[in-house]
Chain A
Amino acid sequence: MSSEMTTQPQYYHDEIVKRLVQFSVAWAVLAMAAGVFVAAELLWPTLDMGQPWLSFGRLRPLHTNGIIFGFGVSALMATAFYSVQRTSHVPLFAPKLAWFLCYAWQLLVLSGGLSLLAGMNTTKEYAELEWPFDIAIALLWVSFGIVFFGTISRRKIRPIYISNWFYGALIIVIAMLHIVNNLELPVTWTKSYSLYAGAQDAIVQWWYGHNAVGFLLTGGFLGMLYYFLPKHAGRPIWSYKLSVVAFWAFTYSYIWAGPHHLHYNAIPEWVQSLGMVMSLVLLAPSWATLINGVMTVSSAWEKLKTDPALKFIVLSLAFYGLATFEGPMMAIRSVNVVSHFTDWTIGHVHSGALGWNAMITYGTFYYLMPRLVGTELYSKRLANVHFWLALAGTMLYIIAMWAAGVSQGLLWLSLDETGELAFGFRDIMSSMAPYYGLRLLAGLIFLGGTLLMAYNFYMTTRSRKTVKVEPPVVDPAFGVV
């Protein structure tokens, strides 16, 4: 201990965290703007002005990839790096590699986005990028793992905090999913063919697709929740034991749920049933986390009145509960027969993406940014306005898409007295304009709030340096010998 006290102080590497947060906010603005534009195209299809790169087919994957890989992954890297240093009581392992990852990832998202605009596309949802980008993603993801697990391996305390288990699962499982789903045969620099064919291709794709939602958009962000909620509420998680049980139950049950994306398709019926049952089982770990979160914050309600960051985090819990209830219900085959191929699915995805992922991230960023530069937030008032815009935008979006989706599903299933379809596809879609108008408005409102946040952060961090924070003294009873 005495030799450690005479050495130079070691500081957490928080400059990387700040830069990743800035990149994440920039991607949020750009990718959400792309989303608003494609929402407008569904109302006014001629908005593409005959330009292929402005068409729905190219801009839609740009929107989803920008949100998931740009906004989402940058936020996850930022918060994983922030929390793993602190919960391990050591600065980041291999900080130069972390800096390389920080910039290389942004370059990858930018160039990948441009390739989608140019029309390069594997046609696999959420895995649209072509093979050179797939290899780059795999290499950078391994770098993420080296920095993260390297930091844990050098930790000064024995216990590994629960948020690190979620971030660890994110890194390991996404690597596995990405590599297996993207095994493909390149035929040119810009075109490849999957090694799988037919039903096998579909099963592998939705094993990837659903678990990307599970371990990236749910598990990764649960890591964020388990660290930043107690930190911000100023009290430990309500039941640590419950969080451990929830983690393992979540990890076990999520991995089997993918086939619910393929109900009534050409895959074995028992695989569909397994996907449905495991989706229903998922309710238990999802709501265990919800209960743990609500009980943790229940003794800090007073803070909610004045603290916009905590408001976002608590609201994200509500939408997490909603989305993780709706998902298993939609996985039931008799419900799925109505919801599949309708806008109900789009509404469900956005109740998760806007209500859960974006809200928990915004709450975390509002907590982080002022602390990273050692000051107060530039404007709490703007943050409160953002909160109400985000809530209004999300609610409007999911109500519009739920109404549109249920209408579509029921109308498509309607038969006339001769047993023929009562309504044609074109008739149904032409009645969707009011819902699509509301969706566009909701997107604009949500984007407006995100722009306010970007301005607030710019003013908060403008010409301020990142604060240097040291690890605490280790409790000898729990230190690594």
Chain B
Amino acid sequence: MTAFIFLGDMLVMFFMIVVVVWVSVYESDERIDYTASIPLQDESEESLSHG
């Protein structure tokens, strides 16, 4: 019984994660490119030049 509950828990978690990954990865290329480049454009150029 313990193993059944345990394996069931693992399977349900696995299914949920597959759904989340599927939703995350099948975004438009434009949105993924934008998200990937967030760290490169997250500070105002103007304020940096005054730093």
Contacts and interface: CB of A to CB of B under 8 A. Distances in A.
Contact of A248 (B20, B37, B43): B20
A216 to B, nearest CB: 21
Nearest to B44: A470
Interface stretch (A64-72, A185-193, A204-212, A235-243): A235-243
Interface stretch (A20-28, A320-328, A452-460, A472-480): A472-480
B38 A157 contact: yes
A89 interface: yes
A426 B25 CA distance: 57
Given A159-B31, A256-B10, A469-B51, A244 B21 contact: yes
Interface stretch (A226-234, A333-341, A394-402): A226-234
Most B-side CB within 10 Å, residue of A83, A163, A470: A470
Contact of A472 (B21, B43, B50): B43
Most A-side CB within 10 Å, residue of B33, B37, B44, B50: B44
Interface string A242-255: 00110011011000
Interface residues of B, number: 30
A182 B47 CA distance: 46
Contacts, number: 87
B37 A472 contact: no
Contacts of A162: 35
A472 B36 contact: no
A471 interface: yes
Interface string B2-44: 0100100010011001001100110000011111111111111
A244 B17 contact: no
Interface in A67-115: 83, 86-87, 89
Contacts of B44: 469-473
A149 interface: no
Contacts of B48: 469
A397 to B, nearest CB: 32
Contact of B32 (A235, A241, A249, A469): A241
Interface of B: 3, 6, 10, 13-14, 17, 20-21, 24-25, 31-48, 50-51
19 contacts: A9-B47, A12-B43, A87-B38, A157-B38, A159-B34, A159-B35, A161-B35, A231-B40, A235-B40, A236-B36, A236-B37, A236-B40, A240-B35, A244-B24, A248-B20, A469-B44, A470-B44, A472-B43, A472-B44
State the 5 A-B residue pairs at the shortest beta-carbon distance, nearest first.
A86-B42, A467-B51, A240-B36, A470-B47, A236-B36
